Structure 1
Amino acid sequence: LLEYLEKDSFTKDEILAIKTEDAGLTEHLEAIKQAYGFGYDSISELIEELEGYLKSLNERLDYYLNIDFDGRSVVGDDPDNLDDRDYGDNNVMPKNGSIHGTHVSGIIAAVRNNGLGSNGAANNVKIMAIRNTPNGDEYDKDVALGVYYAVDNGAKIINMSFGKSFSPHSDWVRDAIAYAAKKDVLIVAAAGNDSKNTDEGQYYPNDQIGVGEEVGDTFLKVGATTYDYGSGIISGFSNYGKSSVDVFAPGSRIYATVPDGKYRFLQGTSMASPLVAGIAALVLSQYPKLSAAELKQILMNSGLPVVKKVSLGDDAVVPFSELSKSGRLVNAYNALIMASKISR
């Protein structure tokens, strides 16, 4: 294409304007047009996202799935002993790897209406940064202790934009989730990006064993949707489950903050979860007497029902209502209206 256009770069309009009968060129054109169809404004943007995804996969291979990796001896920690807590530090600003957390924070709390980048879901929000899952190296002990720390230090809403399919000490995390519920703290968690029905295969952290009874009533699991309000509304990567997922929210092509004062499109249930957490903060700021359990029910019950059947990655077509407990898409406006009627 560069040779055909006789230039080093091209725009979307230039690509769409090309008319050719050359089979090889047509093949390249169709591939690029497909990328534009996914919502990318430039091929460089697509390449950047693919490179980021590849980096993420390699980190999972190097750390999370590498049985020979031992990242704990450096800090003198025993990951199988929950009482061994004298490790870690207060550095939440790593030299690299902070794009994900910065993006998540911006979705929740980026300054609104300042003419820069994007607007956060809520105003006047304080972010308590707890870095407990660096680069895919996620231990149940760190997750559990992170929850305890957040609850004990005044957090009212906890966002969990991380997860995994294997959790050797999942009981520790469930105990922490139950503790948060007892202390009236809402936890909002990403449903995962494996395109799977998590009723049939667990995705952690969660507040139940299988599809059994929940350990608390303040844990909210969020799946992701696209910007296509139709049969393609479910993000192709998003997990789902009538029992294991509570609600859906936008998670495809979300524009928010990244380090060094920049902004980027990212996608994942990691983006859907903080949007719901931000809406929860918005509602709670207006109606501070709401309990965490009431807040969860408001977010679930006030959402928009999607009456159409939707497509899943395996070509199945199912009712949207069968993909989560609520069968709804979170809606901030409706949540505020319902909160005004429920708040004491």
Structure 2
Amino acid sequence: MVRALSISACSVLALAPLAAPQSAAAAPARPASAPMVQRVEQPSTPVAERARHGRLASYVVNLRDSSRSTRLAGHAAVRRSGGRVVAAWPEIGVLVVQSTDARFLGRVRTQRGVESAGATRSVPVRPTPRSARTVTSEGTRGGRERAQWNLAMIRADKAQRVTRGSKSVRVAVVDSGIDPTHPDLRGALDPATSIGCTNGGRPTKGVAAWRATNNLHGTHVAGIVGAARNGKGIVGVAPGVRMSSVKVVDEQGMIYPEYALCGVMSAARSGAKIANHSYFVDPFVFWCDDQPGQRAVKTSLQRAFAWSARRGVVNVAAAGNSGLDLTDKGVDSESPTDARARTRRINAGCTDLPTELRGVLSVSAVDRTRELAPYSNDGLGVVDVTAPGDEILSTVPGGRYAVESGTSMAAPHATGVLALLASRHPKATPAQLTSMLKRQARPLPCPRDSGCRRKGSVTSYYGHGLVDALAAVK
């Protein structure tokens, strides 16, 4: 759910001159780590897989391999089990299926060629609504770069004196859509490679499918990555690169697995160099390996992100806003996000998707004082780097600007720095770009009397440290 990775906007700003926001009050210190004790891992609380006959439900079906014979057998298995394939990803052997037959899941799991299957929602599929019209009035505008303390913190202002990035580098903003008329974004946006994924997980072309409608999140994220330096609005970390809008957030604010699958695969198919994922996958904040249906969804996304990396994409994700140590999870009280949430026990096999997936770069958030934002997740070996995420000014639909906070805002800073790295090193692989980003990051010390842990120069709060745009372009 995209709203969980950004704290609500302070305001949508009127277009009069803007003063820099005041520094936030110092966050209370986190409790110091308790002594290490050996703990027996408990199974996660079972979540019933219920489907009502006659109500349309959505599933992922993972095939045993991606060979042509297995794919043909998989399609036939879906039909025999009472389902209909609505999106197929042959590169990774994953099918997105809808069915009104409550017996579908039990049947398809027994079919030849099927490795696993699971429901992607805890509620029936809603009809895809017609998109609302985006407000595009510009009003009076004025330069706002002075309010962007975040760019100075990561030295992006100095980096842009060297380069603003290359137009041959394209970033996929996998989010809630981008306003294509915003003056700070329209020159960088590439409509030909933009796509919508919220129609049952089917990739859909056309502006109506990928533009921002009732959610400002994606437009805000895009501005942080690559808003143009035009002397009128704000400026992004890498204002010279191109961007695609890959819309995975529906009108209810949900990001179901089939949407995320479509977003990851479509970004990679289109040739994006970096993809920004400032969200977690609904309807579970954590997807558990000891729950067969949840494990099936997790497998499908693992396949998608691994294939994306092989295609040359660096995937960047927000660490999340639950204020948790992701290596020490015990309870989830926020799931399911599309129905009444229930408190459930979780364990080490329960992961936040996509930020905890192998090969995905996880970004925590710091405030103006370079301390971990109180809402930011952390975790030694999970968080890779950190970036500004608190009170970040950026673009929103309607030619306007707003201040937002969250790890959703931190991730696109890292994405922008990676775009600068890719501009300077056009032949570098995803692994090489990620390695350079980590190596160039400026280490931040663990605060005193906190739960921050360290292993060598890497910490649980900040990973390898604060991303550094100037180091990226030298």
TM-score (norm 1): 0.67
Contact 2:364 2:462 in 1 (8 A): no
Question: Which one of 8, 24, 47 corresponds to residue 38 of structure 1?
Answer: 24
Hey, what does 2:306 align to over in structure 1?
178
Q: CA deviation at 1:107?
A: 0.3
Hey, what does 1:117 align to over in structure 2?
233
**What does 1:126-137 align with in structure 2 at a 5 Å threshold?**
126-134=242-250, 135-137=252-254
Q: CA deviation at 1:79?
A: 3.5
Hey, what does 2:210 align to over in structure 1?
92
Moved more, 79-88 or 146-155: 79-88
Contact 1:242 1:323 in 2 (8 A): yes
Q: 1:294 to 1:311 in 2, by over 3 A?
A: farther
Contact 1:251 1:269 in 2 (8 A): yes
Task: Name structure 1 gaps, 5 residues minimum.
Answer: 1-34, 40-66, 209-213, 338-344
Q: 1:325 to 1:259 in 2, by over 3 A?
A: closer
**What does 1:160-239 align with in structure 2 at a 5 Å threshold?**
160-164=277-281, 165-167=285-287, 168=294, 169-201=297-329, 202-206=351-355, 208=357, 214=358, 216=359, 219-229=360-370, 233-239=371-377
Q: 1:124 to 1:140 in 2, by over 3 A?
A: same
Residue deviations 1:160-185 (CA, integer Å, cap 9, x gap): 01015233211111111110121121
Hey, what does 1:23 align to over in structure 2?
none
Task: Name structure 2 gaps, 5 residues minimum.
Answer: 1-20, 26-48, 63-84, 88-198, 288-293, 330-350
Hey, what does 1:150 align to over in structure 2?
267
Query: Percent identity at matched positions?
Result: 30
Contact 1:234 1:310 in 2 (8 A): no
Residue deviations 1:186-223 (CA, integer Å, cap 9, x gap): 00000000000112232211454xxxxx3x4xx21101
Question: SS at 1:84's partner residue?
Answer: strand
- TM-align CA RMSD: 2.9
Question: SS at 2:210's partner residue?
Answer: coil
Contact 1:184 1:293 in 2 (8 A): no
Question: SS at 1:284's partner residue?
Answer: helix
Q: Distance in 1 between matches of 2:255 and 2:58?
A: 14
Question: Which one of 210, 213, 223 corresponds to residue 106 of structure 1?
Answer: 223
Q: Does 1:329 align with 2:329?
A: no
Q: 1:104 to 1:234 in 2, by over 3 A?
A: same
Q: Distance in 2 between matches of 1:227 and 1:36?
A: 10
Hey, what does 2:403 align to over in structure 1?
265
TM-score (norm 2): 0.50
**Greater share of strand residues, 1 or 2?**
2
Q: 1:166 to 1:151 in 2, by over 3 A?
A: same
Q: 1:166 to 1:306 in 2, by over 3 A?
A: closer
Q: 1:311 to 1:329 in 2, by over 3 A?
A: farther
Hey, what does 1:55 align to over in structure 2?
none
Q: CA deviation at 1:77?
A: 7.2
Moved >2 Å (runs of 4+): 67-70, 76-84, 86-90, 133-136, 307-312, 316-322, 324-327
Q: Distance in 2 between matches of 1:151 and 1:125?
A: 17
Contact 2:249 2:255 in 1 (8 A): yes
Moved more, 81-90 or 294-303: 81-90
Question: SS at 1:223's partner residue?
Answer: strand
